[in-house]
Structure 1
Amino acid sequence: MWTCKLPGAADGSLSVRRLPVGSLERQALACPGMALVVPPEGSVEHQRIGQSTGFSFLTEDVRSLFEEWSRRGVHFPLPPMEPSWGNGQARYAVFEDADGNSFSLIEFDEATRTLEAERRAQSARLEPERHAARELAIAKQVQTRLFPQHQPPIRTLVYAGTCHPARTVGGDYYDFLDLGSGRLGLVLADIAGKGIGAALLMANLQAALRSQCATAWEEPERFLRSVNQLLYENTAKGDYATLFFAEYDDDTRKLRYSNCGHPPALLLRGDDSLERFGATCTVAGLFEKWDCTMEERELAPDDAVLLYTDGVTEALNGEGEEFGEERLLETTRQHRELPLPELLAAVADQARRFSPHEQADDITLIVAKCT
């Protein structure tokens, strides 16, 4: 560190201190509004530190400082000038001290305004993205609350569900409905599309299902027709959902179901035999005139029902091969003795690891095991 004496301070001089490289000290000068600018490490200017006696000071107002220092005895050979690259506002002035060290004052007010304008413009360009990110975060929180927060108690059935959206929010939906009198509703749906639009349709479906579920056990076909009508009336033309709806009776162990254009549910019997619950009607929400049918199966201890969306079976590997039903069954059988949440995690993980690409579709599963 060294000090350069300029006329005008209390002792007849102004102190200019040369600071160590990298110092962030703001009071490089005894005059307010001025600071030394340290060039980036590794730059040509940085390498010249200590090799030159020339210094540049940035200030907001060269003319005011020029007049002040001139009154205090600093000799400027020329008045403040506008550089050839200026626009009539930026100025600079040069002077030397008695030791031959050269100094320059450079006005940075215009540069600051330009940079600030660019910063604000960039911030304005990014604001829609930040706003969308905030909206997505809120939508994710809301959507998380749409999934079941508790499980109705059933003596003869253990069950679990999981959903892994491909994006921040998704269009897959699962639910467990308390139908009263020891009866449970199992719902798995796949909304057409992805992202916010699919999430909004999912919310409509959830509201329709929960608001109408009081009629589900006695009149399941009427219940599903009502859900279809609500979807049809409250969504855009062409929007729809595949839907698997099942009712389980705790006393009889009977399962009634309707498959509305959804991938077939898989029933793994205790003896390892397999049954598929294929489509019984078309997708929900697409047509105003719509009807469905219910089918029934009786479950026995150790029977397991697996429901899934096509994001599981249609996951692609690097060769364009689908994960498929066979791999789904193989993984399920391999982990069948695990607690159900761990079984679902293993299946979802296997499907995601199968594809080397970013997850393309939501992965959602329900498993229910008779005890």
Structure 2
Amino acid sequence: MIQDAVLNAATKEWNSSSVGWIHEILDALPYWARFVELQSQKVFLNARMKEDLGKGNPDMLSYIDAEGCFGCNHCIRVIAENTALSVEKERKIGSRFYQVRNVPIKDQSGKLYGVLETFVDITQKKELEETLIRNKIKLDRDLDFSRLLQEKILPNNQHFAHVLLDYIYRPSEILSGDMFDIFELQKGEYTGMYISDVVGHGVSASLLTMFIRQTMRALKDESVSPAEILKRLHKKFSDLDLEADKYFTIVYAVYNHKTKVLRYANGGHICMPILSRQDGTIDILEGSGYPISSLFAQVTFQEEEILVHADDRLLLYTDGLLEAKGEDGEQFGMERLLHVVRETKLDTNIIRNIDLALRLFAQDKQKDDFAMMKIRFI
């Protein structure tokens, strides 16, 4: 900056012959500048400062009233209090903000000679900063509201007619890309349940979770076939014509209360559902399928089914659980998850046990969204 160059030149070597050329340099500056001699208290104002003083500039007059321009009380105080250090601060003068810099000047013998003071108008910068701060506050409020709304639309931990629901929902940021839901179908003859994971985080991911929830609720009674519902979900998503980097995975299951059969389909969700039986055995509900993405024009989904019994527990979860890393960088992984499931007794809260194991492993350092829902069949 010109200001730094002038100050460096002025402080490098000072003697009585320096006065003339430093005055010329200060006169060339486009902002206020002045030099004050310590002994005589003579004040040199540069051309810009004289011009504004002559025009009756309200900011200049305000500064004169506050500091006594020709007595230069502020400059003298800087020399007295800061015998070897320059001082830089922001000051409001009149209606504008200035970056004021004061540099004590020594002569060749090392004695204090005077002080050089410059004023750079930073009003526009301050106004921009204040605007950014206001916008940041508004954005934070909007994000907080969005987070609250996203949490409010999650299903309550509640007792349905034929299943019990419990879950953990923990975004890595204010907003999450994970979404899950549970609802009754066909006048209560079936229960539908799903969990989905949108790629990415933040606002765009959270908006897609809203799309998933609303679309699944709109489609739920059109068919009791999970594969068919995922096919229609894919069509609705493709109609949005979003960019290829916007996609999500999902696993959707439908429980028939009369036959006790659970049918499910997988839309690219790598976290396979876990069915923990009341007799202690565990089934991994394997499945494959394409993610819900505009990259694939025509897709079909494979549908599987399995018989469940009273007190069996189904776990649906997102990859933030398996990919959580410990201190050594190792992932939590499927084996640790299955170990916790095996060690959890039927009458124990399996969701809380998994959450505790994950927290201990990752030392409460969460880098990805994490959600898990437990459905207990009754």
Q: Report the TM-score range of the alignment, normalised by the length of the smaller protein.
A: 0.5 to 0.7
Amino acid at match of 1:175: D
Determine whether 1:177 maps to 2:183: yes
Determine whether 1:114 maps to 2:97: yes
State the partner residue of 1:344.
351
CA drift at 1:348:
2.4
State the partner residue of 1:367.
374
Determine whether 1:141 maps to 2:141: no
Please, what TM-score do these two structures have when normalized by structure 2? Answer: 0.66
CA distance in 1: counterparts of 2:190 and 2:133, whole angstroms: 51
Amino acid at match of 2:305: E
Amino acid at match of 2:171: P
CA drift at 1:187:
0.7
| Aligned 8 A contact 2:226 2:263 in 1 | no
State the partner residue of 1:210.
217
State the partner residue of 1:322.
331
CA distance in 1: counterparts of 2:266 and 2:204, whole angstroms: 23
State the partner residue of 2:204.
197
Change (3 A) 1:234 1:322: same
Question: Which one of the candidate residues 170, 173, 194 is aligned to 1:164?
Answer: 170
Aligned residue runs from structure 1 range 1-371, under 5 A: 87=49, 88=53, 89=60, 90-91=63-64, 92=68, 110=93, 113-114=96-97, 117=123, 119-149=126-156, 151=158, 153-155=160-162, 157-179=163-185, 180-217=187-224, 219-234=225-240, 236-238=242-244, 239-262=246-269, 263-286=271-294, 287-338=296-347, 340=349, 343-356=350-363, 358-371=365-378
Amino acid at match of 2:167: G
CA distance in 2: counterparts of 1:234 and 1:358, whole angstroms: 35
Q: How many residue pairs were aligned?
A: 276
| Aligned 8 A contact 1:264 1:276 in 2 | yes
State the partner residue of 1:12.
none
Q: Which has the higher helix share?
A: 2
Question: How well do the aligned residues superpose, as a CA RMSD in angstroms?
Answer: 2.8
Amino acid at match of 1:346: N
CA distance in 1: counterparts of 2:150 and 2:347, whole angstroms: 28
| Aligned 8 A contact 1:152 1:177 in 2 | no
Unaligned ranges ≥5, structure 1: 1-80, 95-107
| Aligned 8 A contact 2:322 2:334 in 1 | yes
Amino acid at match of 1:177: F
CA drift at 1:322:
0.5
> Per-residue displacement from partner, 1:32-56 (whole Å, max 9, x unpaired)?
xxxxxxxxxxxxxxxxxxxxxxxxx
Q: Percent identity?
A: 23
| Aligned 8 A contact 1:312 1:348 in 2 | no
Unaligned ranges ≥5, structure 2: 1-41, 54-59, 72-90, 99-121
> Per-residue displacement from partner, 1:281-319 (whole Å, max 9, x unpaired)?
221234221111211110123322111111001101121
| Aligned 8 A contact 1:172 1:364 in 2 | yes
State the partner residue of 1:99.
none
